[in-house]
Amino acid sequence: MASSLSDKNILVTGASRGLGRALCVGFARQGARVAFTYGRDDDGAAETLAAVEAVGTAARAFKVSVLDGPGTRKMLNELDKDWGTLDVLVNNAGVNENLPLALLDEHDWDKVLDTNLKGAFLMARAVLRLMIKRKSGVVLNIGSLAGARMLEAPIHYCASKAGLVGMTEAMAKEVGRHGIRLICLAPGLLEDGMGRNLPPHRLEAYLHHCSLGRIGRYDEVADFAAFLVSDANGFMHGETVIMDGGV
């Protein structure tokens, strides 16, 4: 039986570590060809390449910011030349700063909103132009429980992830007629990132409200993401799916 993502070409942003790396590996295990972007971490990007190649699939790495328009166009031109098509974009690149409102200045706000929301918009706009020509494709935006529920979390991070929900819905309405699907996946706390950086009392409070009583694993999210972007999930469109263990 063919894997669920056989013959699919997938681009993941922000994949030099963490969830981005797990997404690349998970997609590759399902038979996809994978390319990914990263910002500065050359060693981390090399580790992602090695992890993907360990499951028997070659990967492509591009050192380009999601805010770099010319760099993005150059990357997409290369992928179009080498692959011919791009079936899936996963907007995963993101940053966070654990700052309270009183210490949050304009620079902090701009940094997080630019990367998490504007960067996703710019990447999606560039890729959708290619997908519309082919009348097919999937864009998966990686949101957060913090953008869909009232949680104690940095305001600028929450705003950026809530913006992804609205952007997913608006884009879905506009491009659905071209055979393109938009989905937002909003995980709860995971094994690294915010899950590692939370003060102990905050983590305990989260786990108290989580029905499963634990934080999530990267591989769990990656496996579910692989289903979301697959043809087996062809009728889901414009939705935000929360994966949080029952908070």
In the predicted model, is pLDDT for residue 241 greater than 60? yes
List CB contacts of 158: < 8 A, sequence separation 6 or more.
144, 146, 147, 151
In a domain, 2, yes or no: no
In a domain, 247, yes or no: no
In the predicted model, is pLDDT for residue 1 greater than 60? no
Domain that holds residue 200: 9-242
Alpha-helical segments (H) within 176-228: 194-197, 200-209, 218-228
- The mean pLDDT value for 215-235 works out to 97
In a domain, 3, yes or no: no
In a domain, 205, yes or no: yes
- The mean pLDDT value for 128-150 works out to 96
CB of 143 closer than 8 Å to CB of 161 = yes
User: For residue 10, which of 39, 36, 29, 48 has the smallest C-alpha distance?
Assistant: 36
Q: What's the total number of domains in the chain?
A: 1
- The mean pLDDT value for 116-135 works out to 97
Q: Residue 85 corresponds to which tokens in the numbers above?
A: 């098509």
Q: Distance between CA atoms of 201 and 128, rounded to whole angstroms? A: 43
Specify the range with the lowest mean pLDDT, choosing from 13-22, 100-109, 220-229. Answer: 100-109
Per-residue pLDDT band for 195 (boundaries 50, 70, 90) equals: low
Answer yes or no: pTM beyond 0.75.
yes
Q: Distance between CA atoms of 65 and 71, rounded to whole angstroms? A: 8
Q: Distance between CA atoms of 142 and 157, rounded to whole angstroms? A: 13
In the predicted model, is pLDDT for residue 198 greater than 90? no
pLDDT at position 211 is 96
In the predicted model, is pLDDT for residue 185 greater than 80? yes
Q: Residue 86 corresponds to which tokens in the numbers above?
A: 């791009």
Q: Which residues are catalytic?
A: 157
Q: Distance between CA atoms of 63 and 142, rounded to whole angstroms? A: 20
pLDDT at position 150 is 86
Specify the range with the lowest mean pLDDT, choosing from 58-67, 147-156, 165-174, 219-228. Answer: 147-156
Query: CATH number for the domain including 201?
Result: 3.40.50.720
In a domain, 49, yes or no: yes
- Residue with the larger pLDDT of the pair 208 and 193: 208
In a domain, 158, yes or no: yes
In a domain, 29, yes or no: yes
Q: Distance between CA atoms of 161 and 122, rounded to whole angstroms? A: 15
pLDDT at position 194 is 66
Q: Distance between CA atoms of 48 and 65, rounded to whole angstroms? A: 17
- Terminal-to-terminal C-alpha distance of the chain: 36
Per-residue pLDDT reduced to its tens digit, 54-103: 999 889 999 999 999 999 999 999 999 999 999 999 999 999 988 889 99
pLDDT at position 200 is 86
- The mean pLDDT value for 220-226 works out to 98
What are the φ and ψ backbone dihedral angles of 243, each rounded to 5 degrees?
-130, 90
